């Protein structure tokens, strides 16, 4: 008998966050979140996404033991502004028991029907800056902190419950040694002269902040054409600035501006924190913070988190300016391996940007959809 209970209290939400720690306790590849930060993400008083979204959190019990979890999400910006009648779900984890996964999905479907939505899709988060997709390949490599890891059996559960593939993503990597400056060195000088552009680099976080709002505005413009995109609101900008910008080495943030100081391109790269988070075991104190700071300072692996070019400048080679700046920084830092976040398989523009670096796909993931 599977019992589904909504997680409402602080104690129940802590159970919700900590369930994967048990599910993946023997995994060498799962990367735990920081428990306190995960709880803030789900706190309606902490995360401004709840001004435009609703979420309910559910736990599955079998014989009195927690055996699964799921977040049921409605993003009202998506529904009202884009007329996408989608019931989202994410943070979906479960033991290998079809009754458990079915019971959790039934709750999501019930909520979707109550709101007269057309279909449900997941796993996804609240917005495009959240984790996305169930992993279908790459189970024998460590997951970055910005993606979900899951057991191989997850996919068969989606299929068994009548879900079909909606979107496909790939994650790739390449050694920094693959980066040949001749591919962009001369081009970036020509592009800067032709369009009167200049690159901005930083050494302190407070130097970045005056440009942060414009970066999120440009993010909204440059990603608007992608499927599943939901814009970042002004309130969310403040939240993400505090949550992400301080996490990133300022020298790993690159901006490109025009003659009038308008932002027309940006890139954010992060140190690879996966191993540090494994050592932290979900806690910042007493030693977790030390592991993370060490990785921030010394990691020889980096993750390309976001890169965006203004629509008016796309396909004009502006990314060459960004790559040149990154190349100089990475050379000075002794970077060895570059990783990319999940990218839509049908995003041909982004794939073309990376082709000269001979990237190798090492993980794939998908979202699944079911009509209500």
Closest residue by Cα to residue 363 from 135, 38, 158: 135
Tens of pLDDT, residues 29-87: 999 999 999 999 999 999 999 999 999 999 999 999 999 999 999 999 999 988 899 99
Q: For residues 73-87, b (16+ Cβ closer than 10 Å) or e, as one string?
A: bbbebbbeeeebebb
pLDDT at 228 over 90: no
Which three-class secondary structure string do you get for the chain?
Answer: CEEEEECCCHHHHHHHHHHHHHHCCCCCCCCCCCHHHHHHHCCCCCCHHHHCEEEEEEEEEECCEEEEEEEEEEEHHHHHHHCCCEEEEEEEEECCCHHHHHHHHHHHHHHHHHCCCCEEEECECCCCCCCECEEEECCCCCCCCCCCCCCCCHHHHHHHCCCEEEEEEEEEEEEHHHCCHHHCHHHHHHHHHHHCCEEECCCCHHHHHHHHHHHHHHHHHHHCCCCCCCCCCHHHHHHHHHHHHHHCCHHHEEEEECCCCCEEEEEEEEECCHHHHHHHCCCCCCCHHHHHHHHHHHCCEEEEEEEEECHHHCCCCHHHHHHHHHHHHHHHHCCCEEEECCEECCCHHHHHHHHHHCCEEEEEEEEEEEEC
pLDDT at 226 over 80: no
pLDDT at 247 over 80: no
What is the per-residue pLDDT for 232?
Answer: 84
Average pLDDT over residues 98-111: 98
Average pLDDT over residues 142-164: 95
pLDDT band for position 236 (cuts 50, 70, 90): confident
Q: In terms of CATH, what superfamily is 175-363?
A: Gcn5-related N-acetyltransferase (GNAT) (3.40.630.30)
Q: Do domains 2-170 and 175-363 have the same CATH topology?
A: yes
Tens of pLDDT, residues 335-350: 999 999 999 888 777 7
Tens of pLDDT, residues 106-136: 999 999 999 999 999 999 999 877 899 999 9
What is the per-residue pLDDT for 352?
Answer: 80
Cα radius of gyration (the chain): 21
pLDDT band for position 253 (cuts 50, 70, 90): very high
Q: Which two tokens stand for residue 42?
A: 């789900």
Q: For the chain, what is the mean pLDDT?
A: 93
Domain ranges for the chain, please list them. Answer: 2-170, 175-363
- Please name the residues in contact with 180: beta carbons below 8 A apart, sequence gap of 6 or more: 356
Average pLDDT over residues 202-230: 85
pTM of the model: 0.93
pLDDT band for position 103 (cuts 50, 70, 90): very high
Kindly state the percentage of the chain with pLDDT values over 70: 99
What is the per-residue pLDDT for 291?
Answer: 93
What is the per-residue pLDDT for 250?
Answer: 93
pLDDT at 227 over 70: no
Tokens 């104690």 — which residue?
A: 11
The domain defined by 2-170 folds into Aminopeptidase (3.40.630)
Tens of pLDDT, residues 157-174: 999 999 999 999 999 999
């Amino acid at each position: 008998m599977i019992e589904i209970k909504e997680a409402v209290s602080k104690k129940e939400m802590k159970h919700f966050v900590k369930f994967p720690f048990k599910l993946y306790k023997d995994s060498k590849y799962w990367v735990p979140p920081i428990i306190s930060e995960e709880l803030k993400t789900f706190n309606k008083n902490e995360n401004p996404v709840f001004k435009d979204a609703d979420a309910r959190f559910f736990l599955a019990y079998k014989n009195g033991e927690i055996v699964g979890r799921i977040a049921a999400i409605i993003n009202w910006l998506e529904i009202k502004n884009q007329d996408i009648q989608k019931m989202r779900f994410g943070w979906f984890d479960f033991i290998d028991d079809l009754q458990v996964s079915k019971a959790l999905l039934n709750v999501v479907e019930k909520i979707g029907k109550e709101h007269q939505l057309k279909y449900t899709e997941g796993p996804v988060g609240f917005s495009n800056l959240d984790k996305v997709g169930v992993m279908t390949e790459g189970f024998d490599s460590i997951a970055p902190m910005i993606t979900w890891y899951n057991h191989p059996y997850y996919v068969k559960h989606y299929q068994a419950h009548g879900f079909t593939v909606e979107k496909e993503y790939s994650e790739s990597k390449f050694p920094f040694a693959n980066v040949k400056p001749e591919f962009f060195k001369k081009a970036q000088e020509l592009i800067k002269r032709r369009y009167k552009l200049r690159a901005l680099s930083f050494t302190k976080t407070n130097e970045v902040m005056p440009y942060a709002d414009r970066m999120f505005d440009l993010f909204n413009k440059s990603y608007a054409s992608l499927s599943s995109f939901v814009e970042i609101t002004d309130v969310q900008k403040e939240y993400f600035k505090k949550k992400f910008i301080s996490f990133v080495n300022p020298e790993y943030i690159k901006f490109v501006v025009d003659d009038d100081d308008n932002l027309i391109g940006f890139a954010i790269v992060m140190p690879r924190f996966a191993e540090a988070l494994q050592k932290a075991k979900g806690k910042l104190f007493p030693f977790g913070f030390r592991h993370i700071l060490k990785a921030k300072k010394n990691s020889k692996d980096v993750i390309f988190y976001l890169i965006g070019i203004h629509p008016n400048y796309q396909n004009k080679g502006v990314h060459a300016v960004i790559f040149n700046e990154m190349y100089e920084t990475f050379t000075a830092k002794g970077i060895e391996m570059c990783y990319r976040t999940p990218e839509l398989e049908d995003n041909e523009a982004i794939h073309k940007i990376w082709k000269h670096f001979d990237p190798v796909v090492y993980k794939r993931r998908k979202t699944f959809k079911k009509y209500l």
